[in-house]
Amino acid sequence: MIDLVWLIPLFPFIGFLICGLGRNVLPKALLGGIASLAVIVSFAVSLGIFLQFDAKTAAVVNLFDWINVGTINIPFAFQIDQLSILMLLIITGIGSLIHIYSTAYMSHDAGFGKFFSYLNLFVFFMLLLVLGENYIIMFIGWEGVGLCSYLLIGFWYTNGEYADAAKKAFIMNRIGDLGFLIGVFVIIATFGSSSFSAVFPQAQALVSGDTTLTLITILLFIGATGKSAQLPLFTWLPDAMAGPTPVSALIHAATMVTAGIYMIARSNILFSLSPVTMSIIAVVGLATAIIAAIIALTQTDIKKVLAYSTVSQLGYMFLGLGVGAYTGAFFHVLTHAFFKALLFLGAGSVIHAMSNEQDMRNMGGLRKKLPTTFITMLAGTIAISGLPPFAGFFSKDEILAHVFEHNVVLWVIGVLGALLTAFYMFRMMFLTFWGSFRGTEEQKHHLHESPAAMTVPLIVLAILSVVGGFIGVPEALHGSHWLANYLSPIFEASNSRLGELSLSHATEYALMAVSVVGVIIAIAIAYVKYVKNGHVPLADSEARPALAKLSYHKFYFDEFYAALITKPLDALSGFFYKTVDKSGIDGIVNGVSKAPVEASKGFRLLQTGNVGFYIFAMVIGIVAVLAYSFFKF
Amino acid sequence: MNLLILLFFPLVGSIAVLLNRNYAKQTALISSIITLGFAVSMLCNFEADASKQFVVDLAWMPQFGISFKAGIDGISMLMVLLTTVLTPLIILSGFNRTFKHTSALFALILFMQSALLVVFTALDAFLFYVGWEAALIPIYFICAIWGGADRIKVTYKFFIYTFAGSLFMLLGIIYLHLQTPGNTYDLQAFYALNLDSSTQAWLFWCFFAAFAVKIPIFPFHTWQPDTYTESPTIGTMLLGGIMLKMGIYGLVRWLIPVLPLGFAEWKELALILCIIGVVYGSIIAFTQKDIKRLIAYSSIAHVGLIAAGVFTWNLQGLQGAMIQMLNHGINVIGLFFVADIIINRLNTREIALMGGIAKIAPKLSITFLIVVLGAVALPLTNGFIGEFLLLNGVFQFNIWAAAIAGLTIIFSAVYLLRMYKNVMQGTLNELTGSFKDIHGSELVVLGVVCALIIVIGVYPQPILHISEAAVNGLIGEVNSKLAF
Amino acid sequence: MDNITATIQVVPLNHYILLSAIIFTIGVIGVLIRRNAIIIFMSVELMLNAVNLLLTAFSAYSGDASGQVFVFFIMALAAAEVAVGLAIIVMVYRNTNSIDINVLNRLKW
């Protein structure tokens, strides 16, 4: 079964080809069916491998030699271990649900076939990313998902803003990718290979704090900040909401954006040996989590709220990685994939019902019209807020427990962020589903619950969001933490270096109690403000208090980047073109050719045409020559 | 398979085109395909080791030490493939255009192919120089007769620019010729010379001038954007796709192995110039309003990286340069052809006037996107293989150089996607409203280009294998001389 | 022949050189300062004849006849020159009604 791993990416690729080539020929139902089936079959194969795989070491499947130049040998090879298997299950599992959902969601779109071909291509690249046996294959997937993200964000490219958002996503990802690529070069130069099986054992022999390792890990982390939307490269993700909603669910919530966490978890031994990088990751992660949460507080677009929430949750995952809670961070990847995909799909269902309205100021009171969507989204919201026993509680709690042990200040800020999360998520729920309807009559008339193809995935994901956390119930709550045991071969080396969590059960209970009580209070405040008092966010034109304004305008990050990078570069471009190239270098070149012309203009004046002058010059010349020869010899 | 047939068959084709005026395009295409057939059959008989194969050595002007000596090793083989694969595509790209004096244009293209093949296979400096200058003649006429409004001035500048560079090289060749024991122009005799380092240092700049102008390396590049913009696109493809590779090939074959000490003395400076070119070309490309000029500046950035890879003189850098020469040829032909299709239909080069074309031209939008992705070096396209190896080579030289040269990964995405967005995406306007999708020969050319981009990107190993032994041999030769 | 040579040698060589130099200088000055084409032409002849005189004198003093052969060449040449030159002057006169050489200044730039 494990030898058949190449089938997993193959099916989505075939799906991509069929949908891409047959997009105008085949009927929509068939296209959607083929695309969904491709991912479902991949899921089945992944499940088979998951059930069969019990080895403690990774299995490597070699396909062919890709690049072979001197000492650089890069085989096209796949690696199967616990980490990649879990990622396979997430990608193909949630991927299948989202494909099924999309068949209904996109049914009225002219680009139906194109959409599914892109979606399948994305799954293909994402699978390459997690299956790659070395950093280069990972990089193929890494950039490939970036491409699909570009294509899908710009899916409705006739809208110039959407096309710009797509471009921005690709370019910001590329900034990170350069860091990743150079990091890979350093890895190859240091370890002589980019294969995981060659790099990690060698790295284990190095001492903690090795400068090369620090360099490598910082460069890799730069890559991760691009792909996983962390400070300072996170601004593309909210703009990426320009894409169709299923895309936001699959790419910009559940899978692609977690690639950075996957990569760091995969390279955990390198990071465990670089305490400096670990601190940077923790701080960046926490800062992103807080800033994104603050921005989410005032957003009015339902997808933007979820986007900033994603950025914030990714920040938590990085915070977890930064304090060495690899299992916790990965656990959060899993649970977040469930509930954030659910929330996005739910939001999609709302948008679908509202005839493409995304502004929460025009929603309200939808819970009666969209009961399934409402119940499932509520489950997702509780899960993300971290109330037991929903999935988010366990993963977030595990991260925060590690943070507490690491540094109490970080923990306080982290819990604060969790409270903000609960507040803005319930604000979104209250604004959307409670109160009275604020949209137009036409929209009200059109309101309907989505078809089964959309609600069934919602229900499945809701169930997962509720029970998904039980795979990682901590010892303190009398669980066995199946996930930690399952992943132990991957994180063994790191855990033995960083040490296990050594908090007493009493402390753990206290931490849980603090966060749960805080979350309940935050929800209560949101309830009072948005349901009891019926507060609706201000219109764009109205003045806001300074802090709210800062939050509403996303801390002016985009404006800041435009002023600091984009505009100066464009100005530099003009300067180089006009001044350096045209006037400077070309001026010199033209000057060289002009010099003889100018000189000849001067010299031609000697030709007076006066014969007497010529003869006079000749005589003078002869006299001069004679005089010279007389005095010389 | 006799090398002479490969070298001179295009000339026969050229005459055939002139005789067969009514079917000039078809005759030219058939001729170039037959030449490609010769090249492929040579590839089949080719052993991928460091030796020179299919060597022809005829006495030409023996009293002056000049012989007609040509042969093929792995490096030349790649260049021959580059020339013979791209020429049919270039000819085919002219199929649904009308030109004045059609037969003359296509005869000149075939003549140029012959000259280029001579340059890439010559093992005698005199022959190399003859081919080098002979390639300039047809492109001069192509630009000057079929070019845009400003063609005479621009072509004149281009000619003087490159010719001035070449004369320095001629000076260097004659000097080296006089130093050889039997006064010959043989490449091996040049390799065997052991000149002192100060002589090599000034000779280095003589050769460098010629190659740097042709490539072009910053700051010798100012002819290039003007010429690329004003030439007919078919000429731009010849220039950007094949001819500038003469310069890089010259670095690899005629500059560094002949003057290893000069190279050792100046390589840092040369590398810095190349890397400046990468960043400089990219940044200028950001704000170009003319689609051809934008691609021209992007080409400066891309070839700057190739040249930088050569100057690192390690296996990864050189192999990257080898495969990237091929890739750049393919990509630049794709880009310029797309630009030509668009310019031809809209009668403007202004990017600002375009937009929304993807909606009504899906085939063009897909092929254009693939070409753009190849140019921005996305993995699984050909560009990635080349840039990965090149950047790795530069990295082995210096990490900061790699970081700065690596900016091309970001910058190329910026300017090419900006161009793609402004041309293809957004809403249709009056000008673009009646745009017709590509069909017929256009589809064939872009289809082949896209197929090459993906095939090389997915499975580059056969191509890397062709040149590996030869590259290794050259590196070994130079390093053994530097060891003294 | 010896007789003539002896006769010539009666006068010291320096005198011939001095005379030739004077005649030559007169010719040069004539060419430089006069504008009349005919006079310039005559001045040129004066220079030629100065040279002829010098050649003859040197020929006699060194006993080598080839100098006198040169003189004949020069005289033939001068005759040819006069023929062509006068023809040009006539043409110039027909076209410009003048033989002032300063009128002929179109040959510039």
Number of domains in chain B: 1
Indicate if the alpha-carbon torsion angle A416, A418, A420, A426 is positive or negative. negative
Task: Quickly state the pLDDT bin for A112 (edges 50, 70, 90).
Answer: confident
ipTM of the complex, rounded to two decimals: 0.89
Chains that touch B (3 or more CB pairs under 8 A): A
DSSP B334: H
What is the tens place of the pLDDT at every residue in B64-85? Answer: 888 999 999 889 999 999 999 9
Given this model, what pLDDT does residue C107 score? 64
Choose between A589 and B106: higher pLDDT. Answer: B106
Given this model, what pLDDT does residue A590 score? 83
Q: Answer yes or no: is pLDDT of A56 > 80.
A: no
Please give, rounded to a whole number of angstroms, the shortest distance from the CA of A633 to a CA of chain C.
Answer: 21
Task: Quickly state the pLDDT bin for B450 (edges 50, 70, 90).
Answer: very high
Q: Answer yes or no: is pLDDT of C4 > 80.
A: no
Given this model, what pLDDT does residue B484 score? 62
Average pLDDT, integer, range B154-183: 89
Question: Taking a C-beta distance cutoff of 8 angstroms, is the pair B467, B319 a contact?
Answer: yes
Nearest CA in chain B to A111: B359
When CB atoms are compared, the residue of C32, C101, C105 closest to A616 is: C32
- Is A604 an interface residue toward C (CB < 8 Å)? yes
Kindly state the percentage of chain B with pLDDT values over 90. Answer: 47
- CB within 8 Å: A67 and B378: no
Question: Taking a C-beta distance cutoff of 8 angstroms, is the pair A11, A82 a contact?
Answer: no
Contacts of residue B392 in chain A, CB cutoff 8 Å? 72, 185, 188
Nearest CA in chain C to A601: C109
What is the tens place of the pLDDT at every residue in B457-483? Answer: 988 888 888 888 888 888 888 888 887
What is the tens place of the pLDDT at every residue in B147-165? Answer: 888 888 888 888 888 888 8
Rounded to whole angstroms, how far apart are CA atoms A338 and A340? 6
Please give, rounded to a whole number of angstroms, the shortest distance from the CA of B201 to a CA of chain A.
Answer: 24
Q: Answer yes or no: is pLDDT of A146 > 70.
A: yes
Given this model, what pLDDT does residue B1 score? 53
Closest CA to A263 of A143, A398, A384: A143
Instruction: From residue A550, give the alpha-carbon distance in Å to each of A296, A303, A522, A559.
Output: 11, 19, 21, 12
Q: Answer yes or no: is pLDDT of C1 > 80.
A: no
Q: Answer yes or no: is pLDDT of A197 > 60.
A: yes
Please give, rounded to a whole number of angstroms, the shortest distance from the CA of B325 to a CA of chain A.
Answer: 16
- CB within 8 Å: B316 and A69: yes
Q: Tell me the residue range of the domain where C49 lies.
A: 2-103
Please give, rounded to a whole number of angstroms, the shortest distance from the CA of A585 to a CA of chain B.
Answer: 7
Nearest CA in chain B to A139: B379
For chain B, positions 158-187, list CB contacts with chain A under 8 A: 160-161
Mutate to test the interface with C, among A601, A604, A611 (most CBs of C within 10 A): A611
- C-alpha A557 chain-centroid distance: 17
Rounded to whole angstroms, how far apart are CA atoms B388 and B406? 9
Mean pLDDT of chain B: 89
What is the tens place of the pLDDT at every residue in A363-387? Answer: 877 888 888 888 898 889 998 888 8
Residue A543, judged by CB atoms within 10 A of its CB (0-12, 13-18, 19+), counts as: exposed
Q: What is the largest CA-CA distance in chain C?
A: 58
Please give, rounded to a whole number of angstroms, the shortest distance from the CA of A619 to a CA of chain C.
Answer: 8
- CB within 8 Å: B413 and A174: yes
Number of domains in chain C: 1
Given this model, what pLDDT does residue B134 score? 92
Please give, rounded to a whole number of angstroms, the shortest distance from the CA of A200 to a CA of chain B.
Answer: 21
- CB within 8 Å: C109 and A604: yes
Task: Quickly state the pLDDT bin for A473 (edges 50, 70, 90).
Answer: confident
Given this model, what pLDDT does residue C2 score? 66
Question: Taking a C-beta distance cutoff of 8 angstroms, is the pair B322, B385 a contact?
Answer: no
- CB within 8 Å: B160 and A593: yes
Given this model, what pLDDT does residue B151 score? 86
Peptide bond into B232 cis (omega under 30): no
Task: Quickly state the pLDDT bin for B446 (edges 50, 70, 90).
Answer: very high
Ranked by mean pLDDT, the top range of A352-361, A370-379, B450-459 is B450-459
Question: Is chain A adjacent to chain C, meaning 3+ CB pairs within 8 angstroms?
Answer: yes
Q: Answer yes or no: is pLDDT of C51 > 90.
A: yes
In a domain, C109, yes or no: no
DSSP per position, A177-222 = HHHHHHHHHHHHHHHS--BHHHHHHHHHTSPTT-HHHHHHHHHHHH
Kindly state the percentage of chain A with pLDDT values over 90. Answer: 16
Count of all residues that appear for chain C in the document: 109
Tell me phi and psi for residue B186, to 5 degrees.
-65, 140
Given this model, what pLDDT does residue A480 score? 77
DSSP B63: G
Given this model, what pLDDT does residue B307 score? 93
Contacts of residue B426 in chain A, CB cutoff 8 Å? 157-160, 163
Kindly state the percentage of chain A with pLDDT values over 70. Answer: 100
Question: Is chain B adjacent to chain A, meaning 3+ CB pairs within 8 angstroms?
Answer: yes
Mutate to test the interface with C, among A606, A607, A610, A623 (most CBs of C within 10 A): A610
- CB within 8 Å: C32 and A612: yes
Q: Answer yes or no: is pLDDT of A138 > 70.
A: yes
Average pLDDT, integer, range B126-132: 93
What is the tens place of the pLDDT at every residue in B282-316? Answer: 999 988 889 999 999 999 999 999 999 999 998 88
- CB within 8 Å: C108 and A612: no
Please give, rounded to a whole number of angstroms, the shortest distance from the CA of A171 to a CA of chain B.
Answer: 6
Average pLDDT, integer, range B244-248: 92
What pTM was estimated for this model as a whole?
A: 0.87
Contacts of residue A612 in chain C, CB cutoff 8 Å? 32, 35, 101-102
- Is A602 an interface residue toward C (CB < 8 Å)? no
Please give, rounded to a whole number of angstroms, the shortest distance from the CA of B21 to a CA of chain A.
Answer: 40
- CB within 8 Å: A181 and B388: yes
- Is A605 an interface residue toward C (CB < 8 Å)? yes
DSSP B148: -
For chain C, positions 8-37, list CB contacts with chain A under 8 A: 28, 31-32, 35
Question: Taking a C-beta distance cutoff of 8 angstroms, is the pair A554, A290 a contact?
Answer: no
What is the tens place of the pLDDT at every residue in A494-509? Answer: 887 777 777 778 888 8
In a domain, C108, yes or no: no
Average pLDDT, integer, range B4-21: 90
Peptide bond into C12 cis (omega under 30): no
Closest CA to A90 of A341, A263, A457, A345: A341
When CB atoms are compared, the residue of B223, B319, B425 closest to A69 is: B319
- CB within 8 Å: A67 and B389: yes
Amino acid at B315: L
In a domain, C31, yes or no: yes
- Is B276 an interface residue toward A (CB < 8 Å)? no
- Ramachandran region, residue B429 (left: φ > 0; alpha: ψ -120 to 50; beta: rest): beta
Task: Quickly state the pLDDT bin for B350 (edges 50, 70, 90).
Answer: confident
Q: Tell me the residue range of the domain where B360 lies.
A: 3-482
Question: Is chain C adjacent to chain B, meaning 3+ CB pairs within 8 angstroms?
Answer: no
For chain C, positions 73-102, list CB contacts with chain A under 8 A: 101-102
Q: Answer yes or no: is pLDDT of B111 > 90.
A: yes
Which residues, including other chains, have CB under 8 Å from residue A323's CB and lie 6 or more apart?
A278, A282, A399, A402, A403, A405, A406, A407, A410
Given this model, what pLDDT does residue A53 score? 83
- Is B459 an interface residue toward A (CB < 8 Å)? yes
For chain C, positions 52-71, list CB contacts with chain A under 8 A: none
Question: Taking a C-beta distance cutoff of 8 angstroms, is the pair B138, B115 a contact?
Answer: yes
Give the helix/strand (H/E) hosting B432: none
- Is B468 an interface residue toward A (CB < 8 Å)? yes
Average pLDDT, integer, range C32-36: 86
- Is A619 an interface residue toward C (CB < 8 Å)? yes
Q: Answer yes or no: is pLDDT of A85 > 80.
A: yes
Q: Answer yes or no: is pLDDT of B349 > 90.
A: no
What is the tens place of the pLDDT at every residue in A583-621? Answer: 888 888 888 888 888 898 888 887 777 777 888 888 899
Given this model, what pLDDT does residue B308 score? 93
- CB within 8 Å: C105 and A611: yes
Instruction: CATH number of the domain at C91, please.
Output: 1.10.287.3510
Given this model, what pLDDT does residue B427 score? 84
Rounded to whole angstroms, how far apart are CA atoms B107 and B41? 24
Mutate to test the interface with A, among C102, C103, C106 (most CBs of A within 10 A): C102
Closest CA to B227 of B239, B209, B212, B243: B239
Given this model, what pLDDT does residue B119 score? 93
Rounded to whole angstroms, how far apart are CA atoms B327 and B19? 35
- CB within 8 Å: A70 and B315: yes
Radius of gyration of chain C (CA): 18
Mean pLDDT of chain A: 86
Q: Answer yes or no: is pLDDT of B433 > 60.
A: yes
Contacts of residue B370 in chain A, CB cutoff 8 Å? none
Please give, rounded to a whole number of angstroms, the shortest distance from the CA of A170 to a CA of chain B.
Answer: 8
